[in-house]
Amino acid sequence: MTANSTYSFFNDVGSFVDKAARFTKHPKGLIEQIKQCNSIYHVTFPLRLQKGKFKVIEGYRVQHSHHKSPVKGGIRYSSGVNEDEVKALAALMSYKCALVNVPFGGAKGGVRVEPSEYTVDQLERITRRFTSELIKRNFIGPAVDVPAPDYGTGPREMAWIADTYMTFNSEQVNALGCVTGKPLTQHGIRGRKEATGRGVFFGLREAVDSYEDMQKLGLHPGLGDKTVIIQGLGNVGYYTGINLQKQGSTIIGIAEYNGGIYNEDGLDIEEVHQHRMDTGSILDFPGAKTIKNGQDLLEYACDILVPAALENQITTKNATKIQAKIIGEAANGPITADAEKILLKRGVFIIPDLYLNAGGVTVSYFEWLKNISRVSFGKINKKYNELNNQLMVDAIEDASDTNLPYKQRMQLIKGAGEYELVDSGLEGVMVGAYHEINEIRKKDNVDDLRTAAFINSINKIAVSYLELGVFP
Q: Which is nearer to ligand NAD, 106 or 360 (CB)?
A: 360
Stretch that binds ligand NAD, among 12-20, 216-224, 262-270, 328-336 (CB under 6 A): 328-336
How, if at all, do strands 227-231 and 145-149 pair? unpaired
Residue 37 to residue 57: CA distance in whole angstroms: 23
Does position 357 bind ligand NAD by CB under 6 A?
yes
85 binds ligand NAD (CB under 6 A): no
**Residues sharing a CB contact under 8 Å with residue 9, sequence separation 6 or more, in sequence order:** 84, 85, 87, 88, 89, 311, 312, 333
For the chain, what's the residue count?
472
Residue 220 neighbours by CB under 8 Å, 6+ apart: 214
Other CB atoms within 10 Å distance of the CB of residue 334: 26
Q: How far apart, in Å, do the first and last CA atoms of the chain sit?
A: 44
Shortest CB 226 distance to ligand NAD, Å: 21
234 versus 415: smaller Cβ distance to ligand NAD:
234
Which candidate in 19, 108, 182, 382 is catalytic?
Answer: 108
User: Do 89 and 153 meet the contact criterion of CB atoms below 8 Å apart?
Assistant: no
Rule CB under 6 A: say whether 367 interacts with ligand NAD. no
Is 289 annotated in the active site?
Answer: no
SS3 142: coil
Query: Strand 105-111 relative to strand 71-77: parallel, antiparallel, unpaired?
Result: parallel
Question: Is 308 one of the binding residues for ligand NAD (CB under 6 A)?
Answer: yes
CA distance 309 to 237: 8
Q: Does 294 bind ligand NAD (CB under 6 A)?
A: yes
Residue 80 lies near ligand NAD (rule: CB under 6 A): no
Selected from 90, 272, 310, 413, the binder of ligand NAD by CB under 6 A is 310
Contact between 196 and ligand NAD per CB under 6 A? yes
CB of 234 to ligand NAD, least distance (A): 2
d(CA 400, CA 388): 18
CA distance 306 to 232: 9
Phi–psi pair at 108, nearest 5 degrees: -160, 155
User: Site size for ligand NAD, by CB under 6 A?
Assistant: 24
x/- site string to ligand NAD, residues 236 to 275, per CB under 6 A? xx-----------------xxx------------------
Pick from 231, 250, 336, 456: which binds ligand NAD (CB under 6 A)? Answer: 231
Q: Does 62 bind ligand NAD (CB under 6 A)?
A: no
- Residue 156 CB, nearest distance to ligand NAD (Å)? 12
Task: Pick the stretch among 32-40, 135-143, 147-155, 319-327 that binds ligand NAD (CB under 6 A).
Answer: 147-155
Q: According to CB under 6 A, which one of 183, 221, 222, 234 is a site residue for ligand NAD?
A: 234
Angle at 401 between CA 398 and CA 407, to 5 degrees: 80
* Dihedral sign computed on CA atoms, order 386, 392, 394, 400: negative
SS3 253: strand
Nearest to 227 by CA among 294, 300, 173: 300
d(CA 250, CA 229): 9
| Piece in contact with ligand NAD (CB under 6 A), picked from 36-44, 122-130, 235-243, 413-421 | 235-243
Q: Which stretch binds ligand NAD (CB under 6 A): 221-229, 233-241, 372-380, 407-415?
A: 233-241
CB atoms < 10 A from the CB of 39, how many?
A: 17
CA distance 390 to 414: 9
Using the contact rule CB under 6 A, the part of the chain among 26-34, 159-167, 226-234, 446-454 near ligand NAD is 226-234
Q: Binding to ligand NAD by residue 331, rule CB under 6 A?
A: yes
- Pick between residue 233 and residue 242 the one whose CB is nearest to ligand NAD: 233
Instruction: Decide if residue 232 touches ligand NAD (CB under 6 A).
Output: yes
Question: Per rule CB under 6 A, is residue 150 in the interface with ligand NAD?
Answer: yes
Query: Which residues are annotated as catalytic?
Result: 108
Binding residues for ligand NAD, per CB under 6 A? 149-152, 196, 231-237, 255-257, 294, 308-310, 330-332, 357, 360
